[in-house]
Amino acid sequence: MERLSVLKTYKLYIGGAFPRTESGRYYELKNGKGENIANVCLASRKDFRNAVVAARKASGGWSERSHFNRSQILYRIAEMMETRRAQFIEELISQGISKSKAEVEVDLSVDRLVYYAGWCDKYTQVLSSVNPVSSPHFNFSTVEPMGVISVISDVKNGLLDLVSVVAPIIAGGNTVVVLAAEQYPLSAITFAEVLNSSDVPGGVVNILTGKRSELLKHMASHMDVNAIAYSGTSGEERKLIEIESVENLKRSCYIDENWNDKGAQGLKFIEMFQEVKTTWHPIENIGGATSSY
């Protein structure tokens, strides 16, 4: 007799745990033949709010971690993903993506994580400056993470779109709440399992599955979210997000990239979610001795 396989229940990823949606709702994910392959959590606004609380709680610790440590953790995510390469490919195929495309997508995702792992302890050096003010002060500008970021994932790829946006944001010390592409929820949740086993503290990345049309407005308007990154949106959606973002002057970043392009990565995706801070301190100059000798 053929062995009966054990199916996986796909749940949300919030605060380092895998809860079901509090709403108890689901949507059916169909494969190319119209067969149901999973009952996916249809996350509610309340799930989103819970995820923001988790992300805010994780924000202080993650942003203050040594950049070197963040670098190692991002690299660890890449390692964990590589070991699950076959699983990711199979899962992408089950969601209707061709084998060759799925392979490229997973490989690029891993490579992109390695790329951003390398940036963690370098971007502040590149983006900072010591400013030669005319008064006797030491003055420098450096960058700091914005805080909690809403991410509305692009809808072109199942895994790569999500990784390409999340990696630079967390490399820069932010925490995120991501809404996965509606038609590709499975790889997003499997990616959460990778994060969960990669020393990424709970709450740094939170992943929801559900309907864009339902959550978009709330992800843009939440008063404790510092920025929103969004992709794959229509003109009307863009306008809605921009208007809903105004009340707490949320930074709204529309990202339109072809992530399948190997070069679709770079410092700018980290910088987009950083604030510049300038610090001043007086320099004592009594007696007039100079540094000449």
Q: Is 243 in the site for other proteins (CB under 8 A)?
A: yes
Record the tokens describing residue 31, joined without a space.
Answer: 């494969």
Nearer to other proteins, 33 or 281 (CB): 281
| Measured distance CA(158)–CA(208) in Å, rounded | 14
Q: Is 282 in the site for other proteins (CB under 8 A)?
A: yes
Record the tokens describing residue 243, joined without a space.
Answer: 């208007």
Applying CB under 8 A, among 9, 31, 98, 248 the residue interacting with other proteins is 248
Of 56, 62, 63, 50, the closest CA to residue 13 belongs to 50
**C-beta separation of 220 from 244 below 8 A:** yes
Q: Is 83 in the site for other proteins (CB under 8 A)?
A: no
Residues 168-227 that bind other proteins (CB under 8 A): 226
Q: Is 69 in the site for other proteins (CB under 8 A)?
A: no
Q: Which stretch binds other proteins (CB under 8 A): 83-91, 97-105, 207-215, 245-253?
A: 245-253
How far apart are CB 278 and other proteins at their closest, in Å? 5
Record the tokens describing residue 119, joined without a space.
Answer: 């940036």
| Measured distance CA(14)–CA(43) in Å, rounded | 11
Nearer to other proteins, 193 or 242 (CB): 242
Q: Indicate the helix (H) or strand (E) that contains 229.
A: strand 227-230
Applying CB under 8 A, among 9, 98, 183, 279 the residue interacting with other proteins is 279
**C-beta separation of 118 from 71 below 8 A:** yes
Nearer to other proteins, 157 or 226 (CB): 226
What are the two backbone dihedrals, phi and then psi, of residue 86, each rounded to the nearest 5 degrees? -60, -40
Record the tokens describing residue 113, joined without a space.
Answer: 């994580």
Site string for other proteins, 103-142 (x = CB under 8 A): --------------------------x-xxxxx-x-x-x-
Residue 184 CB contacts under 8 Å (≥ 6 apart), including other chains = 92, 95, 155, 157, 158, 159
Site string for other proteins, 140-169 (x = CB under 8 A): -x--x-x-----------------------
Nearer to other proteins, 17 or 276 (CB): 276
Applying CB under 8 A, among 31, 247, 258, 262 the residue interacting with other proteins is 247
* Count of residues in the chain: 293
Applying CB under 8 A, among 251, 257, 260, 264 the residue interacting with other proteins is 251
**C-beta separation of 200 from 73 below 8 A:** yes
How far apart are CB 280 and other proteins at their closest, in Å? 5
Nearer to other proteins, 157 or 245 (CB): 245
Of 108, 79, 62, 139, the closest CA to residue 263 belongs to 108
Nearer to other proteins, 95 or 252 (CB): 252
Q: What share of the chain is helix, strand, coil (3-state, %, to 5)?
A: 45, 20, 40
Contact residues: other proteins, CB under 8 A: 129, 131-135, 137, 139, 141, 144, 146, 226, 235, 238-239, 242-243, 245-249, 251, 268, 275-282
